[in-house]
Structure 1
Protein backbone atom coordinates (compact mmCIF):
# COMPACT_ATOMS: atom_id res chain seq x y z
CA UNK A 1 0.00 0.00 0.00
CA UNK A 2 1.43 3.32 -1.09
CA UNK A 3 -0.21 6.67 -1.79
CA UNK A 4 0.19 8.31 -5.18
CA UNK A 5 -0.35 11.80 -6.58
CA UNK A 6 -3.71 10.77 -7.99
CA UNK A 7 -6.92 11.55 -6.07
CA UNK A 8 -10.24 9.87 -6.91
CA UNK A 9 -13.91 10.11 -5.96
CA UNK A 10 -17.09 8.20 -6.75
CA UNK A 11 -15.36 4.84 -7.11
CA UNK A 12 -12.82 6.42 -9.48
CA UNK A 13 -15.55 7.98 -11.61
CA UNK A 14 -13.81 11.27 -10.99
CA UNK A 15 -10.07 11.59 -10.64
CA UNK A 16 -7.40 14.22 -10.77
CA UNK A 17 -3.67 14.53 -10.25
CA UNK A 18 -2.41 16.49 -7.26
CA UNK A 19 1.33 17.10 -7.29
CA UNK A 20 2.97 16.47 -3.92
CA UNK A 21 0.06 14.48 -2.48
CA UNK A 22 2.02 11.22 -2.45
CA UNK A 23 4.94 12.66 -0.52
CA UNK A 24 2.68 14.27 2.09
CA UNK A 25 0.42 11.23 2.47
CA UNK A 26 3.25 8.69 2.67
CA UNK A 27 5.22 10.75 5.17
CA UNK A 28 2.16 11.37 7.35
CA UNK A 29 1.15 7.71 7.35
CA UNK A 30 4.71 6.60 8.09
CA UNK A 31 4.88 8.98 11.05
CA UNK A 32 1.56 7.67 12.37
CA UNK A 33 2.82 4.08 12.17
CA UNK A 34 6.08 5.10 13.82
CA UNK A 35 4.17 6.79 16.65
CA UNK A 36 2.06 3.66 17.19
CA UNK A 37 5.15 1.48 17.31
CA UNK A 38 7.09 3.77 19.64
CA UNK A 39 4.04 3.92 21.91
CA UNK A 40 4.09 0.13 22.15
CA UNK A 41 1.19 -0.73 19.82
CA UNK A 42 2.94 -3.25 17.62
CA UNK A 43 0.78 -4.52 14.78
CA UNK A 44 2.97 -7.44 13.76
CA UNK A 45 4.52 -7.68 10.32
CA UNK A 46 1.68 -6.16 8.36
CA UNK A 47 2.21 -2.60 9.54
CA UNK A 48 5.99 -3.02 9.63
CA UNK A 49 6.07 -4.02 5.96
CA UNK A 50 3.60 -1.31 5.02
CA UNK A 51 5.67 1.27 6.83
CA UNK A 52 8.84 0.20 5.02
CA UNK A 53 7.14 0.58 1.64
CA UNK A 54 5.85 4.02 2.50
CA UNK A 55 9.04 5.51 3.90
CA UNK A 56 10.59 7.97 1.49
CA UNK A 57 14.35 8.65 1.39
CA UNK A 58 13.92 12.26 2.44
CA UNK A 59 10.80 11.88 4.54
CA UNK A 60 10.47 13.74 7.82
CA UNK A 61 10.60 11.07 10.49
CA UNK A 62 8.84 11.48 13.78
CA UNK A 63 11.35 12.86 16.25
CA UNK A 64 10.27 13.73 19.75
CA UNK A 65 12.79 15.42 22.01
CA UNK A 66 12.19 14.72 25.64
CA UNK A 67 10.58 17.68 27.37
CA UNK A 68 11.35 16.60 30.90
CA UNK A 69 13.46 14.43 33.16
CA UNK A 70 13.33 12.52 36.41
CA UNK A 71 15.96 13.12 39.07
CA UNK A 72 16.21 10.38 41.68
CA UNK A 73 17.79 11.47 44.95
CA UNK A 74 19.01 8.65 47.16
CA UNK A 75 20.19 8.96 50.73
CA UNK A 76 23.07 6.53 50.14
CA UNK A 77 24.34 4.10 47.53
CA UNK A 78 22.85 1.24 49.54
CA UNK A 79 19.58 2.24 47.83
CA UNK A 80 21.10 2.10 44.34
CA UNK A 81 19.33 -1.12 43.34
CA UNK A 82 15.95 0.44 44.16
CA UNK A 83 16.85 3.57 42.20
CA UNK A 84 18.02 1.58 39.17
CA UNK A 85 14.54 0.07 38.97
CA UNK A 86 13.04 3.57 38.82
CA UNK A 87 15.47 4.53 36.06
CA UNK A 88 14.64 1.39 34.09
CA UNK A 89 10.91 2.08 34.40
CA UNK A 90 11.42 5.68 33.25
CA UNK A 91 13.19 4.39 30.14
CA UNK A 92 10.04 2.53 29.09
CA UNK A 93 8.33 5.92 28.79
CA UNK A 94 11.31 7.52 27.05
CA UNK A 95 11.99 9.79 30.02
CA UNK A 96 15.64 10.58 30.91
CA UNK A 97 16.51 9.76 34.50
CA UNK A 98 19.47 10.91 36.57
CA UNK A 99 20.62 9.40 39.86
CA UNK A 100 22.16 11.53 42.60
CA UNK A 101 23.33 10.84 46.16
CA UNK A 102 22.54 13.35 48.88
CA UNK A 103 21.26 13.35 52.46
CA UNK A 104 18.84 15.97 53.72
CA UNK A 105 19.80 15.04 57.28
CA UNK A 106 23.58 14.95 56.93
CA UNK A 107 24.07 17.54 54.19
CA UNK A 108 21.01 19.78 53.76
CA UNK A 109 23.04 22.54 52.07
CA UNK A 110 24.22 20.15 49.37
CA UNK A 111 20.69 18.80 48.92
CA UNK A 112 19.37 22.30 48.30
CA UNK A 113 22.30 23.08 46.01
CA UNK A 114 21.45 20.06 43.87
CA UNK A 115 17.82 21.18 43.82
CA UNK A 116 18.85 24.66 42.63
CA UNK A 117 21.07 23.11 39.95
CA UNK A 118 18.11 21.41 38.31
CA UNK A 119 15.75 24.33 38.82
CA UNK A 120 18.14 26.67 37.04
CA UNK A 121 18.36 25.07 33.59
CA UNK A 122 14.69 25.40 32.63
CA UNK A 123 14.03 21.69 32.04
CA UNK A 124 10.79 20.40 33.63
CA UNK A 125 11.81 18.00 36.38
CA UNK A 126 10.18 15.51 38.70
CA UNK A 127 12.17 14.65 41.81
CA UNK A 128 11.93 11.16 43.33
CA UNK A 129 13.15 10.88 46.92
CA UNK A 130 14.54 7.48 47.86
CA UNK A 131 15.44 7.30 51.54
CA UNK A 132 15.05 4.45 53.97
CA UNK A 133 14.57 4.73 57.72
CA UNK A 134 13.67 8.40 58.31
CA UNK A 135 12.84 10.08 55.01
CA UNK A 136 14.10 13.65 55.12
CA UNK A 137 14.74 14.02 51.39
CA UNK A 138 11.13 14.11 50.20
CA UNK A 139 9.77 16.60 52.75
CA UNK A 140 12.81 18.91 52.50
CA UNK A 141 12.64 18.94 48.70
CA UNK A 142 8.88 19.44 48.68
CA UNK A 143 9.15 22.37 51.07
CA UNK A 144 11.79 24.12 48.96
CA UNK A 145 10.78 23.62 45.33
CA UNK A 146 7.73 24.16 43.16
CA UNK A 147 8.64 21.07 41.12
CA UNK A 148 6.78 17.80 41.78
CA UNK A 149 8.32 15.51 44.39
CA UNK A 150 7.34 11.89 45.04
CA UNK A 151 8.59 9.63 47.82
CA UNK A 152 9.60 6.09 46.92
CA UNK A 153 11.17 4.64 50.08
CA UNK A 154 12.95 1.26 49.94
CA UNK A 155 11.29 -0.35 52.91
CA UNK A 156 13.03 -3.11 54.82
CA UNK A 157 11.31 -6.17 56.24
CA UNK A 158 12.42 -5.31 59.77
CA UNK A 159 11.30 -1.71 60.27
CA UNK A 160 9.34 -0.98 57.09
CA UNK A 161 6.01 -0.57 58.87
CA UNK A 162 7.53 2.10 61.09
CA UNK A 163 9.83 3.79 58.56
CA UNK A 164 7.05 4.47 56.05
CA UNK A 165 5.43 6.99 58.39
CA UNK A 166 8.24 9.46 57.70
CA UNK A 167 6.93 9.57 54.11
CA UNK A 168 3.23 9.61 54.98
CA UNK A 169 2.85 11.80 58.07
CA UNK A 170 4.17 15.20 56.96
CA UNK A 171 3.92 18.80 58.19
CA UNK A 172 1.32 21.07 56.62
CA UNK A 173 2.31 22.85 53.42
CA UNK A 174 4.06 19.84 51.90
CA UNK A 175 2.72 17.90 48.94
CA UNK A 176 4.93 14.91 48.20
CA UNK A 177 2.90 11.72 47.62
CA UNK A 178 4.34 8.30 48.39
CA UNK A 179 4.51 5.16 46.31
CA UNK A 180 6.31 1.99 47.38
CA UNK A 181 6.75 0.76 43.82
CA UNK A 182 9.67 1.94 41.65
CA UNK A 183 7.46 1.44 38.60
CA UNK A 184 4.76 3.53 40.28
CA UNK A 185 7.21 6.40 40.79
CA UNK A 186 8.10 6.33 37.09
CA UNK A 187 4.44 6.26 36.10
CA UNK A 188 3.73 9.21 38.41
CA UNK A 189 6.35 11.21 36.50
CA UNK A 190 5.11 10.00 33.12
CA UNK A 191 1.55 11.10 33.87
CA UNK A 192 2.86 14.59 34.63
CA UNK A 193 4.99 14.84 31.49
CA UNK A 194 2.23 13.24 29.42
CA UNK A 195 0.17 16.42 29.83
CA UNK A 196 2.55 18.17 27.41
CA UNK A 197 4.37 15.36 25.61
CA UNK A 198 2.30 13.43 23.09
CA UNK A 199 4.66 10.44 22.94
CA UNK A 200 4.74 9.93 26.71
CA UNK A 201 0.94 10.25 26.73
CA UNK A 202 0.72 7.69 23.92
CA UNK A 203 2.91 5.24 25.84
CA UNK A 204 0.67 5.60 28.89
CA UNK A 205 -2.45 4.98 26.80
CA UNK A 206 -0.75 2.04 25.11
CA UNK A 207 0.02 0.48 28.50
CA UNK A 208 -3.61 0.90 29.51
CA UNK A 209 -4.81 -0.73 26.29
CA UNK A 210 -2.37 -3.62 26.55
CA UNK A 211 -3.43 -4.21 30.17
CA UNK A 212 -7.08 -4.20 29.12
CA UNK A 213 -6.35 -6.70 26.33
CA UNK A 214 -4.43 -9.03 28.67
CA UNK A 215 -7.31 -8.97 31.16
CA UNK A 216 -9.83 -9.80 28.43
CA UNK A 217 -7.63 -12.64 27.19
CA UNK A 218 -7.19 -14.03 30.71
CA UNK A 219 -10.94 -13.85 31.32
CA UNK A 220 -11.68 -15.58 28.02
CA UNK A 221 -9.16 -18.33 28.75
CA UNK A 222 -10.59 -18.92 32.21
CA UNK A 223 -14.15 -19.08 30.92
CA UNK A 224 -13.17 -21.57 28.23
CA UNK A 225 -11.53 -23.80 30.86
CA UNK A 226 -14.56 -23.76 33.16
CA UNK A 227 -17.25 -24.31 30.55
Structure 2
Protein backbone atom coordinates (compact mmCIF):
# COMPACT_ATOMS: atom_id res chain seq x y z
CA UNK A 1 0.00 0.00 0.00
CA UNK A 2 1.40 3.41 -1.00
CA UNK A 3 1.54 5.32 2.30
CA UNK A 4 1.86 8.68 0.53
CA UNK A 5 -1.45 8.25 -1.29
CA UNK A 6 -4.54 8.81 0.86
CA UNK A 7 -7.19 6.10 0.58
CA UNK A 8 -9.71 7.87 2.80
CA UNK A 9 -10.84 11.45 2.52
CA UNK A 10 -12.04 13.01 5.76
CA UNK A 11 -13.97 16.23 5.33
CA UNK A 12 -15.61 18.28 8.04
CA UNK A 13 -17.58 21.47 7.96
CA UNK A 14 -15.63 23.32 10.64
CA UNK A 15 -12.41 23.13 12.63
CA UNK A 16 -14.66 22.81 15.69
CA UNK A 17 -15.45 19.27 14.43
CA UNK A 18 -11.78 18.25 14.64
CA UNK A 19 -11.79 16.98 18.27
CA UNK A 20 -14.82 14.78 17.59
CA UNK A 21 -13.13 13.39 14.45
CA UNK A 22 -9.82 12.53 16.15
CA UNK A 23 -11.01 8.95 16.91
CA UNK A 24 -11.51 8.45 13.15
CA UNK A 25 -7.98 9.58 12.36
CA UNK A 26 -6.52 7.59 15.26
CA UNK A 27 -8.28 4.40 14.11
CA UNK A 28 -7.13 4.86 10.52
CA UNK A 29 -3.58 5.42 11.83
CA UNK A 30 -3.84 2.16 13.81
CA UNK A 31 -4.91 0.33 10.64
CA UNK A 32 -2.10 2.00 8.69
CA UNK A 33 -4.55 3.52 6.22
CA UNK A 34 -3.43 6.87 4.81
CA UNK A 35 -5.99 9.66 4.77
CA UNK A 36 -6.43 13.29 3.81
CA UNK A 37 -8.22 15.84 5.98
CA UNK A 38 -10.16 18.76 4.54
CA UNK A 39 -12.12 21.45 6.37
CA UNK A 40 -14.72 23.07 4.15
CA UNK A 41 -18.35 23.88 4.81
CA UNK A 42 -21.01 22.86 2.29
CA UNK A 43 -22.67 26.22 2.96
CA UNK A 44 -19.70 28.58 3.30
CA UNK A 45 -17.35 27.03 0.70
CA UNK A 46 -19.57 25.05 -1.70
CA UNK A 47 -17.27 25.46 -4.72
CA UNK A 48 -14.28 24.17 -2.73
CA UNK A 49 -16.29 21.17 -1.48
CA UNK A 50 -17.46 20.47 -5.04
CA UNK A 51 -13.93 20.40 -6.48
CA UNK A 52 -12.52 18.36 -3.58
CA UNK A 53 -15.30 15.76 -3.78
CA UNK A 54 -15.35 15.55 -7.57
CA UNK A 55 -11.61 14.85 -7.78
CA UNK A 56 -11.26 12.52 -4.76
CA UNK A 57 -11.38 9.31 -6.81
CA UNK A 58 -8.84 10.71 -9.28
CA UNK A 59 -6.49 11.31 -6.34
CA UNK A 60 -6.77 7.63 -5.37
CA UNK A 61 -9.25 7.77 -2.53
CA UNK A 62 -11.55 4.79 -2.02
CA UNK A 63 -14.03 6.18 0.51
CA UNK A 64 -14.97 9.52 2.08
CA UNK A 65 -15.95 10.26 5.67
CA UNK A 66 -17.96 13.49 5.99
CA UNK A 67 -18.64 15.06 9.39
CA UNK A 68 -21.08 17.89 9.91
CA UNK A 69 -23.51 19.27 12.43
CA UNK A 70 -26.84 21.07 12.50
CA UNK A 71 -28.21 21.04 8.92
CA UNK A 72 -25.41 18.53 8.15
CA UNK A 73 -25.58 18.82 4.38
CA UNK A 74 -21.88 18.15 3.83
CA UNK A 75 -22.15 14.38 3.34
CA UNK A 76 -24.98 14.74 0.85
CA UNK A 77 -23.23 17.47 -1.11
CA UNK A 78 -20.06 15.36 -1.26
CA UNK A 79 -22.09 12.30 -2.32
CA UNK A 80 -23.64 14.32 -5.14
CA UNK A 81 -20.20 15.00 -6.63
CA UNK A 82 -18.33 11.71 -6.14
CA UNK A 83 -18.74 8.11 -7.25
CA UNK A 84 -17.09 6.98 -3.99
CA UNK A 85 -18.97 5.67 -0.96
CA UNK A 86 -19.60 8.40 1.62
CA UNK A 87 -19.93 7.73 5.34
CA UNK A 88 -21.60 10.51 7.29
CA UNK A 89 -20.70 11.34 10.87
CA UNK A 90 -23.40 13.51 12.46
CA UNK A 91 -21.86 15.91 14.97
CA UNK A 92 -23.36 16.46 18.39
CA UNK A 93 -24.81 19.97 18.59
CA UNK A 94 -25.64 22.24 21.49
CA UNK A 95 -29.13 22.92 20.16
CA UNK A 96 -30.60 19.45 19.66
CA UNK A 97 -27.84 17.12 20.84
CA UNK A 98 -27.02 15.97 17.33
CA UNK A 99 -30.47 14.66 16.41
CA UNK A 100 -30.70 17.50 13.90
CA UNK A 101 -27.43 16.35 12.30
CA UNK A 102 -28.43 12.68 12.33
CA UNK A 103 -31.83 13.24 10.76
CA UNK A 104 -30.34 15.50 8.09
CA UNK A 105 -27.80 12.86 7.11
CA UNK A 106 -30.15 9.91 6.88
CA UNK A 107 -32.76 11.75 4.80
CA UNK A 108 -30.96 11.50 1.45
CA UNK A 109 -32.82 11.38 -1.84
CA UNK A 110 -32.85 8.20 -3.89
CA UNK A 111 -29.66 7.81 -5.90
CA UNK A 112 -27.46 9.89 -3.57
CA UNK A 113 -26.79 7.61 -0.59
CA UNK A 114 -24.80 8.50 2.49
CA UNK A 115 -24.09 5.69 4.94
CA UNK A 116 -24.42 7.04 8.45
CA UNK A 117 -22.90 6.17 11.82
CA UNK A 118 -24.07 7.29 15.26
CA UNK A 119 -23.81 10.85 16.51
CA UNK A 120 -20.07 11.52 17.00
CA UNK A 121 -19.41 7.97 15.73
CA UNK A 122 -16.05 8.85 14.19
CA UNK A 123 -14.30 5.64 15.22
CA UNK A 124 -17.00 3.49 13.61
CA UNK A 125 -16.73 5.59 10.45
CA UNK A 126 -13.03 4.70 10.26
CA UNK A 127 -13.77 1.01 10.81
CA UNK A 128 -16.47 1.08 8.12
CA UNK A 129 -14.09 2.85 5.74
CA UNK A 130 -11.47 0.15 6.40
CA UNK A 131 -14.04 -2.58 5.77
CA UNK A 132 -14.94 -0.99 2.43
CA UNK A 133 -11.27 -0.77 1.44
CA UNK A 134 -10.78 -4.33 2.66
CA UNK A 135 -13.16 -5.67 0.02
CA UNK A 136 -10.39 -5.13 -2.55
CA UNK A 137 -7.25 -4.95 -0.39
CA UNK A 138 -6.25 -8.21 1.35
CA UNK A 139 -3.83 -6.42 3.70
CA UNK A 140 -6.54 -4.12 5.03
CA UNK A 141 -9.00 -7.01 5.19
CA UNK A 142 -6.57 -8.92 7.42
CA UNK A 143 -6.26 -5.88 9.69
CA UNK A 144 -10.05 -5.85 10.08
CA UNK A 145 -10.09 -9.60 10.80
CA UNK A 146 -7.36 -9.14 13.43
CA UNK A 147 -9.15 -6.12 14.92
CA UNK A 148 -12.43 -8.00 15.31
CA UNK A 149 -10.66 -11.05 16.73
CA UNK A 150 -8.93 -8.85 19.33
CA UNK A 151 -12.32 -7.37 20.30
CA UNK A 152 -13.76 -10.86 20.72
CA UNK A 153 -10.88 -11.88 22.96
CA UNK A 154 -10.99 -8.78 25.16
TM-score tier by shorter-chain length is 0.7 to 0.9
Question: Alpha-carbon deviations, 1:106-132, whole Å to 9, x = none?
Answer: 2211111112332333x1331111111
State the match for 2:146 in structure 1: 206
CA RMSD of aligned residues (A): 1.8
1:185, CA displacement in angstroms? 0.3
1:102, CA displacement in angstroms? 0.8
- Separation (CA, whole Å) in 2 of partners of 1:105 and 1:65: 33
The 1:206/1:136 distance shift into structure 2, 3 A limit, reads: same
1:189 is aligned, of 129, 138, 154, to 129
Matches within 5 A, 1:75-90: 75-90=13-28
- Separation (CA, whole Å) in 1 of partners of 2:114 and 2:146: 27
Q: Which has the higher contact order (CA 8 A, sep 6+)?
A: 2
> Once superposed, which parts of structure 1, at least 4 consecutive aligned residues long, lie more than 6 Å away?
none
Query: Structure 1: which 5+ runs fail to align?
Result: 1-63, 215-227
1:151, CA displacement in angstroms? 0.2
TM-score by length of 1: 0.61
SS at match of 1:172: coil
State the match for 1:133 in structure 2: 70
Question: Alpha-carbon deviations, 1:135-171, whole Å to 9, x = none?
Answer: 1111111122111101012213541223321011122
Matches within 5 A, 1:145-224: 145-156=82-93, 158-159=95-96, 160-180=98-118, 181-214=121-154
SS at match of 1:127: strand
Whether the 8 Å contact between 2:56 and 2:82 is mirrored in structure 1 is no
Aligned residue pair count: 150
The 1:72/1:124 distance shift into structure 2, 3 A limit, reads: closer
1:212, CA displacement in angstroms? 2.0
TM-score by length of 2: 0.88
- Say which one has the larger Rg: 1
Whether the 8 Å contact between 2:57 and 2:83 is mirrored in structure 1 is no
- Separation (CA, whole Å) in 2 of partners of 1:168 and 1:83: 19
- Separation (CA, whole Å) in 2 of partners of 1:65 and 1:162: 38
2:7 is aligned, of 43, 66, 69, to 69
- Separation (CA, whole Å) in 1 of partners of 2:54 and 2:79: 13
